[in-house]
Amino acid sequence: MDRRSFLKLAGLSFTGLAFQPLADLLPKTVFAKDGLPTETLALQKWAMAVDLNLCSKKDNCRDCIDACTRIHNIPDFGNPKDEIKWIWTAPYKDVFKDQAHAFTKEILLKAPVPVMCNHCEHPPCVKVCPTKATWKREDGIVMMDYHRCIGCRYCMAACPYGARSFNWRNPRPFIKSINEGFPTRTKGVVEKCNFCEERLAKGLMPACVEACSQKALTFGDIRAPRSKVKALLSRRYSIQRRAYLGTEPVVYYLL
């Protein structure tokens, strides 16, 4: 960091802006690999497309869930009451309550739909967090700072998608095999999907995308002219969860 940047950060600390996560103040670079462009994250806008036709072809598939669980140290408490969810499945009729109708494909109605944090363009969870433990990066990823989270759960109440989970107990004893490359959480902390931002920083695709044997998940920069996700969304019909709320989810479902 040069002297000018240092003085800028020091100045911000006196105005209170230092409470903004440091990661937001520094440029971030990703590297060319797996189709991810080499530009600063501030110039990108990540999005995901879920092809429900491909997803429904493999019964009881857990490729994406298992990969996410393994990489992010997600505990298994053995009961739904304490369940921690980053990506999970739910019936189509529950996910798209207002969009299922008599002519919806039967195979879609029966197949479980993968759901996760929608990394909304206008995330209500960010607005209600009193400690700024959750915030939205310029590339659209809604982040969590586990050290800032005070466990008030305002974000859980504000999220219309149920995409956040609360650690009612110490999760560490319930992690099957700890990945030392990703932090574990503590009792009293909220967590959720982060679009694998730690992998994006290394030029890798999100773990769920990489693990999907059906190639049903497509992730990329929706602003890039030649990105695959942009091309898919341009030519295929897609829906978003509860789009009428105005949150503008960036997880799209291809029908």
pLDDT above 70 (res 19): no
pLDDT above 80 (res 164): yes
Close Cβ partners of 20 (under 8 Å, ≥ 6 residues apart): 12, 132, 135
Q: Are 112 and 95 in contact (CB under 8 A)?
A: no
Q: What is the DSSP letter of 242?
A: T
pLDDT above 80 (res 30): no
Segment 167-186, tens digit of pLDDT: 999 999 999 999 999 999 99
Written as six digits, the tokens of 40 are 């600063």
Averaged pLDDT of the chain: 85
Residue 190 confidence class, pLDDT cut points 50, 70, 90: very high
**Rg value, the chain, Cα:** 19
Q: Which residue has the higher pLDDT, 86 or 80?
A: 86
pLDDT above 70 (res 159): yes
Given this model, what pLDDT does residue 42 score? 54
Given this model, what pLDDT does residue 36 score? 52
pLDDT above 90 (res 236): yes
Given this model, what pLDDT does residue 34 score? 44
Q: What is the DSSP letter of 188?
A: T
Rounded percentage of the chain residues whose pLDDT exceeds 70: 83
Q: Which residue has the higher pLDDT, 1 or 218?
A: 218
10-14, 136-140, 196-200, 222-226: segment of lowest average pLDDT? 10-14
Residue 206 confidence class, pLDDT cut points 50, 70, 90: very high
Residue 43 confidence class, pLDDT cut points 50, 70, 90: confident
What mean pLDDT do residues 85-93 have?
94
pLDDT above 90 (res 63): yes
DSSP 108-166: HHHSEEEEE----SS-HHHHH-TT--EEE-TTSPEEE-TTT--S--HHHHH-TT---EE
Please state, in angstroms and as integers, the Cα–Cα distance from residue 175 to each residue in 43, 69, 170, 178, 179, following that order. 36, 9, 10, 6, 9
Number of H helices and E strands in the chain, helices first, is: 10, 10
